[in-house]
Structure 1
């Protein structure tokens, strides 16, 4: 048993190193997969928001509210006023 124990620390260290490296690679792969999934879902949400905005604009046009500027245009005209008022 003594002869086997003298080789054990080296083999045990090599095994542990290989195990940790493999575990880190698996974790990296899983995090990359999760990251890709999150980015894809964010892109999908952005597309849905764009579609919703277009639908709202279409409804407004059907109702005859075309003369009213869209909220994005009124926000952009308000933005320069905010910094000027705060300085």
Structure 2
């Protein structure tokens, strides 16, 4: 055995290490991009929810209903129609 096989083995290991490092860097970049995208979408959804809540509150104001529970009118008692048997 000469030193040639050892040099090839070292070069192969160095190539594999560089490949794996490059692959991990690409995966990290993609993960970061996806993470940023998700955060942006969550922020957008939060803004839409805030706008929806404001629209609902505006509609309540237009209808004269405030955010606090108002005293409700007691429900009318149900009046059942009298049957012929009840006429006695």
Q: TM-score over 0.5 for the alignment?
A: yes
| CA RMSD in angstroms, aligned pairs only | 1.8
* TM-score, normalised with respect to structure 2: 0.69
**Rg (Cα) greater in structure:** 2
Ranges in structure 2 where 5+ consecutive residues have no aligned partner: 70-88
* TM-score, normalised with respect to structure 1: 0.70
Structure with the greater relative contact order (CA < 8 A, sep ≥ 6): 1 or 2?
A: 1
Give, in whole Å, the separation in 2 of the partners of 1:41 and 1:49: 12
Q: Greater helix percent: which structure?
A: 1
Count of residues in Structure 1 that have an aligned counterpart in Structure 2: 68
Give, in whole Å, the separation in 2 of the partners of 1:63 and 1:52: 16
DSSP-derived class of the 1:39 partner: helix
Ranges in structure 1 where 5+ consecutive residues have no aligned partner: 71-87
